[in-house]
């Protein structure tokens, strides 16, 4: 399909950002009193990550943060979303804060502000302090209270200079990849525990939001980033496939959006999981603690999900793109089959479908009227390699970004209040169970030397950030 020639222009206040997370980029895992998180333990367990790779060094952002901020400024980005390593700030997950840990983030924030880049802090991007996992992890109720204490510490330390806050990143991954399919840390495969984890993550979000509000100036904004799935039926006219959509939509979206945006778990979710759990760990007052005003909602989007009712013959190994495991990340959904979505694919095997992003934005515009939206992650992995001249050309990534940013622009034209977009990711980095083999960065990292080289997509995106307009892809 030829690209449109007419320029696609965004509102002038639109934030053009990039996103990262602590364990994926920082390295320096034993510095400044930091103790292991569940991702240190998991990545050091044989067989858990591709090639046994770990975040021990990652891209050494802990030592190179000044250069990384300078690079963002040079590209022309106006915002940066990063996460804080809980075990750098509170090594055992409880008790007093470590000043060295907080100081690192304060220096990073000051560097960003000096460069005119607006910071957005994610408090939790999957790296639970190992000691809290040893005490039961997210299936244990106390973890939510520990999170609130941690939120208070960070809010007090950085609330004077960081305006945009995100409590949790993609709790779906924490709960269901961490405790059901086990492809993420801590690698447990316990369906009931994964549902408890989901509830306690919701509770952590609620208690954490209150703690942040008490610790920070009222002008600051508190949000959560959800990997809200766009779930589609294989046969739109087949009621059994539509029931499969409902089930997966509840387990992917409703389990978080229900309590957070509406103060209740969906009835259909409670019914679909009733043979596994009676949800008795949802205590009086929990839903009130979870359901409270938010200032914004973060949406992470990569690809849609295609499902049907499973006849017995197609049950079993899944093609849902959530990693290889004999255990499903979808508790109570053994009667659902997952299908490869049509379209070109990225290196993750995820199909490219910008219409899904438009659909997602319009859905939350309707479900959470008046709530500003941010695309807190969107991007693509490709097998990037430097040319003989040392440059990295990634036209596929430019086309991906162009397509998805155009979808965002269309949603704005359709009445959605989307305030910004954070490309995943600033740098190539540790892609969890896939190690370093999947490159999501707009900036190429040579892992032998840790040298950073902006790919052509970074230059294209920087131009969009500086001009508020998407250059047609054929010029690049
Ligand atoms: C998100 N899934 O991860 C994360 O927030 C990032 O840290 C990550 O690097 C990025 O997307 C790319 O993968 C996901 O299986 C991991 O559905 C897995 C899934 C979704 C998101």
26 closest CA partner among 443, 444, 430, 432:
430
Q: In the predicted model, is pLDDT for residue 320 greater than 70?
A: no
Residue 37 near residue 128 (C-beta atoms within 8 A) = yes
Which pLDDT value is given to residue 311?
A: 75
Q: Is 422 annotated as a binding residue?
A: no
Q: Annotated catalytic residue: which of 26, 140, 377, 396?
A: 377
For range 33-48, the mean pLDDT: 98
Atom of ligand 1 nearest to the CA of 183: 15
- The band of 1, judged by pLDDT with boundaries at 50, 70 and 90, is low
Q: CB-based contacts of 211: which residues, under 8 Å, 6+ apart?
A: 148, 149, 151, 152, 155
- The band of 315, judged by pLDDT with boundaries at 50, 70 and 90, is very low
Higher pLDDT, residue 312 or 230: 230
Higher pLDDT, residue 321 or 385: 385
Rounded Cα distance between 172 and 301, Å, is: 13
The b-or-e profile of 41-70 (16+ CB within 10 A means b, else e) is bbbeeeebbeeebbbebbbbbbebbeebbe
Task: Answer yes or no: is 322 within a domain.
Answer: no
Residue 19 near residue 377 (C-beta atoms within 8 A) = yes
Task: Answer yes or no: is 4 within a domain.
Answer: no
Give ∠ CA 382-383-388 in degrees, rounded to 5.
125
- The band of 472, judged by pLDDT with boundaries at 50, 70 and 90, is confident
Task: Answer yes or no: is 142 within a domain.
Answer: yes
In the chain, count H helices and then E strands.
17, 15
Q: Annotated catalytic residue: which of 53, 133, 140, 170?
A: 170
Per residue in 328-347, pLDDT (tens digit) is: 999 999 999 999 998 999 99
Task: Answer yes or no: is 155 within a domain.
Answer: yes
Per residue in 69-126, pLDDT (tens digit) is: 999 999 999 999 999 999 999 999 999 999 999 999 999 999 999 999 999 999 999 9
Q: Which of 126, 225, 227, 376 to mutate to test the pocket of ligand 1 (most atoms within 8 A of CB)?
A: 227
Task: Answer yes or no: is 273 within a domain.
Answer: no
Rounded Cα distance between 150 and 166, Å, is: 13
For range 447-470, the mean pLDDT: 98
Does the predicted TM-score (pTM) go above 0.90?
yes
Query: Could you tell me the sign of the dihedral formed by the alpha carbons of 109, 113, 115, 119, in that order?
Result: positive
Q: How far is the CA of 277 from the centre of ligand 1 (A)?
A: 27
Rounded Cα distance between 73 and 71, Å, is: 5
Which pLDDT value is given to residue 158?
A: 98
Q: Whose CA is nearest to atom 19 of ligand 1?
A: 322
Atom of ligand 1 nearest to the CA of 323: 15
Q: CB-based contacts of 284: which residues, under 8 Å, 6+ apart?
A: none
Which pLDDT value is given to residue 251?
A: 98
Task: Answer yes or no: is 335 within a domain.
Answer: no
Q: Which of 328, 377, 436 to mutate to test the pocket of ligand 1 (most atoms within 8 A of CB)?
A: 377
State both tokens at 331: 């508790």
Residue 65 near residue 114 (C-beta atoms within 8 A) = no
Rounded Cα distance between 409 and 343, Å, is: 22
Give the CA distances from residue 447 to residues 43, 51, 437, 440, 452, in Å, rounded to whole numbers and listed in that order: 18, 14, 11, 14, 9
Q: How far is the CA of 349 from the centre of ligand 1 (A)?
A: 13
Q: How far is the CA of 285 from the centre of ligand 1 (A)?
A: 31
Q: Is the CB of 296 under 6 A from ligand 1?
A: no
Q: Is the CB of 140 under 6 A from ligand 1?
A: no
- The band of 474, judged by pLDDT with boundaries at 50, 70 and 90, is low
Which pLDDT value is given to residue 316?
A: 44
Residue with tokens 């799935």: 229
What element of type H or E holds 286?
A: helix 286-290
Angle, helices 61-75/456-467, rounded to nearest 10 degrees: 60
8 closest CA partner among 452, 427, 411:
411
CA-based max dimension of the chain: 64
Active site annotation includes 347: no
Q: Is the CB of 138 under 6 A from ligand 1?
A: no
Q: How many domains does the chain have?
A: 1
Q: Is the CB of 169 under 6 A from ligand 1?
A: yes
Q: How far is the CA of 376 from the centre of ligand 1 (A)?
A: 12
Q: In the predicted model, is pLDDT for residue 322 greater than 80?
A: no
Task: Answer yes or no: is 1 within a domain.
Answer: no
Q: Which of 43, 302, 434 to mutate to test the pocket of ligand 1 (most atoms within 8 A of CB)?
A: 302
308 exposed, middle or buried (CB, 10 Å; 0-12, 13-18, 19+)? Answer: buried
Tell me, rounded to whole angstroms, the distance of Cα 74 from its chain centroid: 25
Task: Answer yes or no: is 324 within a domain.
Answer: no
CB count within 10 Å of CB 33 equals: 14
- The band of 7, judged by pLDDT with boundaries at 50, 70 and 90, is confident
Which pLDDT value is given to residue 476?
A: 43
Q: How far is the CA of 340 from the centre of ligand 1 (A)?
A: 17
Q: Whose CA is nearest to atom 13 of ligand 1?
A: 431
Q: Which of 19, 82, 300 to mutate to test the pocket of ligand 1 (most atoms within 8 A of CB)?
A: 300
Q: CB-based contacts of 445: which residues, under 8 Å, 6+ apart?
A: 59, 427, 428, 429, 451, 452
Active site annotation includes 170: yes
Q: Is 172 annotated as a binding residue?
A: no
CATH number of the domain that residue 202 is part of: 3.20.20.80
Per residue in 163-221, pLDDT (tens digit) is: 999 999 999 999 999 999 999 999 999 999 999 999 999 999 999 999 999 999 999 99
Rounded Cα distance between 305 and 96, Å, is: 43
Mean of all residue pLDDT scores within the chain = 95
Q: Is 350 annotated as a binding residue?
A: no
Rounded Cα distance between 355 and 407, Å, is: 7
Q: Whose CA is nearest to atom 12 of ligand 1?
A: 431
Q: Is the CB of 377 under 6 A from ligand 1?
A: yes
Q: CB-based contacts of 6: which residues, under 8 Å, 6+ apart?
A: none
Domain of residue 111: give its range. Answer: 11-230+256-264+290-301+345-470
Residue 82 near residue 127 (C-beta atoms within 8 A) = no
The DSSP bridge pattern shows strands 418-424 and 305-309 to be unpaired
Residue 257 near residue 228 (C-beta atoms within 8 A) = yes
Tell me, rounded to whole angstroms, the distance of Cα 36 from its chain centroid: 21
Q: Is 39 annotated as a binding residue?
A: no
Q: Is the CB of 181 under 6 A from ligand 1?
A: no
Q: Is 24 annotated as a binding residue?
A: yes
Q: CB-based contacts of 385: which residues, under 8 Å, 6+ apart?
A: 392
């Amino acid at each position: 399909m030829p690209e449109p020639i007419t320029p696609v222009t965004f509102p002038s206040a639109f934030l053009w950002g990039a996103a990262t997370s602590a364990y994926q980029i920082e390295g320096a895992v034993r510095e400044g009193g930091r103790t292991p998180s569940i991702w240190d333990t998991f990545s050091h367990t044989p067989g858990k990550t591709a090639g046994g790779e770990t975040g021990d060094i990652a891209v050494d952002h802990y030592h190179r943060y000044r250069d990384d901020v300078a690079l963002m400024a040079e590209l022309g980005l106006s915002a940066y979303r990063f996460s804080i390593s809980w075990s750098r700030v509170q090594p055992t997950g409880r008790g007093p804060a470590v000043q060295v840990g907080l100081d690192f983030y304060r220096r990073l924030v000051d560097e960003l502000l000096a460069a005119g880049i607006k910071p957005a802090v994610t408090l939790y991007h999957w790296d639970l302090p190992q000691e809290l996992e040893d005490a039961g992890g997210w299936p244990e109720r106390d973890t939510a209270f520990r999170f609130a204490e941690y939120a208070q510490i960070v809010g007090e330390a950085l609330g004077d200079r960081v305006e945009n806050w995100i409590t949790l990143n993609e709790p779906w991954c924490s709960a269901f990849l961490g405790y059901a399919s086990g492809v993420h840390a801590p690698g447990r495969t316990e369906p009931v525990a994964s549902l408890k984890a989901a509830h306690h993550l919701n509770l952590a979000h609620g208690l954490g939001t209150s703690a942040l509000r008490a610790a920070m100036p009222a002008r600051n904004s508190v949000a959560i980033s959800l990997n809200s799935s766009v779930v589609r039926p294989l046969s739109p006219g087949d009621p059994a496939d539509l029931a499969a959509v409902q089930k997966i939509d509840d387990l992917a979206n409703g389990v978080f959006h229900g309590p957070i945006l509406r103060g209740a778990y969906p009835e259909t979710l409670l019914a679909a999981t009733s043979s596994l759990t009676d949800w008795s760990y949802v205590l009086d007052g929990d839903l009130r603690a979870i359901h409270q005003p938010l200032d914004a909602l973060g949406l992470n989007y990569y690809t849609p999900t295609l499902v049907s009712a499973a006849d017995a013959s197609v049950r079993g190994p899944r093609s849902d793109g959530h990693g290889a495991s004999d255990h499903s990340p979808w508790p109570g959904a053994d009667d659902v089959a997952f299908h490869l979505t049509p379209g070109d694919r990225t290196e993750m095997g995820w199909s490219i479908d910008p219409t899904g992003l438009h659909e997602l934005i319009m859905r939350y515009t309707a479900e959470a009227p008046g709530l500003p939206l941010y695309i807190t992650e969107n991007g693509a992995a490709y097998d990037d390699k430097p040319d003989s001249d040392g440059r990295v050309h990634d036209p596929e990534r430019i086309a991906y970004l162009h397509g998805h940013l155009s979808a965002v622009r269309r949603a704005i034209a359709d009445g959605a209040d989307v305030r910004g977009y954070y490309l995943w990711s600033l740098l190539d980095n540790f892609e969890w169970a896939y190690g370093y083999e999947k490159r999501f960065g707009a900036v190429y990292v040579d892992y032998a030397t840790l040298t950073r080289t902006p790919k052509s997509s970074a230059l294209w995106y920087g131009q969009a950030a500086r001009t508020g307009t998407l250059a047609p892809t054929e010029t690049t």
